[in-house]
Amino acid sequence: MVEQPANVDAAVNTPVVVDSNDDGTVAQELKLEQMRSILEEAIVETRSMPLENRPRFPRIALSKRNRAVVRALNPMLVTYLEASRDLCETESILFGAALAVCRIIGAKVSTAGRATGHSSAIPAWRRRIEERIARARALIGRLICFRSDNTRPRIVRTVRMALSGTNVSLFQPDIMQKLTERIDDLKQRIAAWGKRIQRYTERSTRFNQNRLFQSDQKRLYKSLERPIVNGTGPAPNQADTVAFWRSLWSAPVNHNEGLWTEVVVSQCEGITPMDPVTITLDDVAEAVRRAPNWKSPGLDGLHHYWLKGFMVCHSVLARQFQEALNQKSLPSLFTTGITHLVPKDQASTTVLTGGDLSGGGGETRVGLAPRDATLDSTGTVVTASVFE
């Protein structure tokens, strides 16, 4: 059982004080009763929600306001965690608490399920510039057509609109020179707009590389060594790909254990058995402390940040992990990974990303197809050298 902190009763009846803008101005936004209602609603909502339909949490800022909300909900979880029967139920409670925090602080949570791709939103200012470039190129084309004696009504209307406000008439003698000057002016504007987009792209690339260097240097170096894939060529059939890997992973196999297994067993008879492992509260707290806050989560969608914030769950997790260890069984939630098909360069074959099965899963890179592999007409690996 979890020991309830001594200050829980006092905290329940005390309004939470939240810093609304991190500038020292303190304002009372929500009372604990309102927060408890939001927490109850979120836990009930996630309790019957399938894992694939769960929303995806954003990275929340490490501000005083957000930390205050997490601290306020922390003692409220004691009642729910005391009634938790297994790891799956505990994980559902923690996910509901994280969802409640996001709703309280106003963080945007995706409601369309777990997205597997990255957002490709283009800034509004860049879209506007690209639209200007497209309109300018279309106008240049029509001005060139008019200069080539194309006098269709649509072309003439466009030229008049382009020359409006410049005191230039279509019937003056130097109209061809004026058209050439107008075309050159538009070309210079297109070049200036393109340079602006190029400067932004270069700056964004530098910023992302610097941030990736601080978080994952190995991934940065791999991205620099590997050429960019343009996605040319026919895309693999999704049904065939899923069927191929499912036949390797999901089909039960009866392994033929030879005589070498008996030799290994006889050699291991003299090994002293390992002492029984006891998982304590300190073990869980230390493991959570070392884990990155926003490492890609597994099927449950719960980041390590929430395990650090909701400290009352550590003792419950220690007890339930100990029970799972004694029973030699873990829920499928902790042993199932996420797999995505990722295209690579021409020098190597397909690579899949699989789940990190250490404490809740993830989306770490796992090479499943060899570099030097020979495939038959059905996509089956016939010969292979070294797997990545």
Query: What pLDDT is recorded for position 169?
Result: 72
Q: Is residue 234 a part of any domain in this protein?
A: no
State whether 63 and 86 are in the same domain: yes
Q: Is residue 164 a part of any domain in this protein?
A: yes
- H helix intervals, the chain: 8-12, 32-47, 64-73, 77-82, 87-105, 124-147, 153-163, 175-215, 217-225, 238-249, 259-268, 281-290, 304-309, 313-327
Q: Looking up tokens 């008879």, which residue turns up?
A: 269
State whether 132 and 210 are in the same domain: yes
How confident is residue 387, by pLDDT bands cut at 50, 70 and 90? very low
Q: Do 379 and 244 contact (CB within 8 A), yes or no?
A: yes
State whether 48 and 32 are in the same domain: yes
Percent of the chain with pLDDT over 70: 73
Q: Do 78 and 8 contact (CB within 8 A), yes or no?
A: yes
Percent of the chain with pLDDT over 90: 20
Q: Is residue 262 a part of any domain in this protein?
A: no
Neighbours of 347 (CB within 10 A): 8
How confident is residue 170, by pLDDT bands cut at 50, 70 and 90? confident
Query: What pLDDT is recorded for position 312?
Result: 92
Neighbours of 112 (CB within 10 A): 8
Q: Among 185, 205, 225, where does a domain finish?
A: 225
Q: Is residue 66 a part of any domain in this protein?
A: yes
Query: What pLDDT is recorded for position 314?
Result: 94
pLDDT tens digits along 35-68: 888 999 999 988 888 888 888 888 888 889 899 9
pLDDT tens digits along 68-109: 999 999 999 999 999 888 898 999 999 999 999 999 998 888
Q: Is residue 155 a part of any domain in this protein?
A: yes
Asked if residue 361 has pLDDT above 80, the reply is no
Q: For residue 358, what are the domain limits?
A: 337-388
**In the predicted model, what is the mean pLDDT of the chain?**
75
State whether 100 and 66 are in the same domain: yes
Q: Is residue 49 a part of any domain in this protein?
A: yes
Q: Which two tokens stand for residue 230?
A: 């343009």
* Domains held by the chain: number: 3
State whether 326 and 343 are in the same domain: no
Strand order in the sheet with 351-354: 340-342, 351-354, 364-366
Q: Is residue 381 a part of any domain in this protein?
A: yes
pTM exceeds cut of 0.85: no
State whether 136 and 215 are in the same domain: yes
State whether 67 and 136 are in the same domain: no
State whether 304 and 282 are in the same domain: yes
State whether 288 and 380 are in the same domain: no
Q: Is residue 368 a part of any domain in this protein?
A: yes
Q: Among 188, 203, 225, where does a domain finish?
A: 225
Query: What pLDDT is recorded for position 368?
Result: 39
Mean pLDDT over 19-32 rounds to 48
Query: What pLDDT is recorded for position 243?
Result: 84
Tell me the angle at which helices 124-147 and 175-215 cross, rounded to the nearest 10 degrees: 150
Q: Looking up tokens 């602080």, which residue turns up?
A: 105
Query: What pLDDT is recorded for position 385?
Result: 36
Q: Looking up tokens 């789940």, which residue turns up?
A: 355
State whether 162 and 221 are in the same domain: yes
- At residue 331, φ and ψ (nearest 5 deg) are -60, 155
Asked which of 21-30, 247-256, 288-297, 308-317 is least confident by mean pLDDT, the reply is 21-30
> What CA–CA distance (Å, rounded) separates 244 from 77?
44
State whether 108 and 25 are in the same domain: yes
Query: What pLDDT is recorded for position 15?
Result: 40
Mean pLDDT over 133-144 rounds to 88
State whether 23 and 60 are in the same domain: yes
